Amino acid sequence: MIKKQIPNIFTLLNLLSGTIAVLMAASDKLVEAAFFVFLGIFFDFFDGFFARKFNVQGEFGKQLDSLADLVTSGVAPGIVMFQLILFATKQQYFMQLSCEVGSWQDYSETYFYFLPFIGLIIPLAAAYRLANFNIDERQSDSFIGLPTPALSLFILSLPLILNYSDNQFFIDLIHNKYILIVITIIGSYLLNAEIPLFSLKFKNYSWSKNTVKYIFLISSIVLLILLQTVAIPLIIIFYVLISVVENILQKNKAI
């Protein structure tokens, strides 16, 4: 039945977008990679939407979705982070070389050469999360740990900030290899952390039952209008923080 295959078609479009993003990232075309990752996440949203709408959710679709997400929200951001750390390490190396001519070995023989590979922790952590997600029955209506598309949005926003923002503070942060390494480690940890995070799935649209979701969405729109590309990583951080606050409030209410 054609209707049954519609969600799978969107999942495959997600995979196609992620594959193109990998090619772009490997060619150091990070803005183009960001565009295709965002497109893949768009398709990822609609495969779940149509699966629920047509009531055709099944084990095959779940596994196919995870395979596509691993490419779009795991491999692609991992390569992008590799390229960002590589640029930051080369930039610092050549800055120091110009100040102390002859005091540095060839770049490939220094510890700088190995630092970018830390970015490849991201696809490993994403693969572990996606495999666990498929067997974790607690994550049907909410998430335990940061969803892979959220971390992917965070990472892919960084080259956009470098290209489209004039906020020097954030640009300097992204050019700092240690900041990038910290983002990689914390982001990979959050993917598999036992931290409950709310989902943006709506069972109904009442304010009282979706207050946190509405506050998050309204705040995100305001941040995007005011800060544009800089807003994207801040929105992801806000998503984690507001989820943690909600969890604390619910625990206190239950006591």
Tell me the pLDDT tens digit for each residue of 142-156.
788 999 999 999 999
pLDDT tens profile 104-154: 455 554 566 788 999 999 999 999 999 988 787 776 667 889 999 999 999
CB atoms within 10 A of CB 146: 25
pLDDT tens profile 57-74: 777 778 888 899 999 999
What pLDDT was estimated at residue 108?
Answer: 53
CATH code at position 148: 1.20.120
Query: Helix, strand or coil for residue 205?
Result: coil
Burial code of 180-216, b = ≥16 C-beta within 10 A, e = fewer? bbebbeebbebbbeeebbbeeeeeeeeeeebeebeeb
pLDDT at 99 over 60: no
Alpha-carbon distances, residue 139 vs 44, 83, 129, 162, 168 (angstroms): 17, 33, 12, 35, 39
Q: What is the Cα–Cα distance from 10 to 90, expressed in whole angstroms? A: 39
Domain count, the chain: 1
pTM, to two decimals: 0.88
Radius of gyration of the chain (CA): 20
Range of the domain at 173: 2-254
What pLDDT was estimated at residue 181?
Answer: 96
In degrees and rounded to multiples of 5, residue 39 shows phi and psi of -65, -40
Q: What is the Cα–Cα distance from 198 to 139, expressed in whole angstroms? A: 10
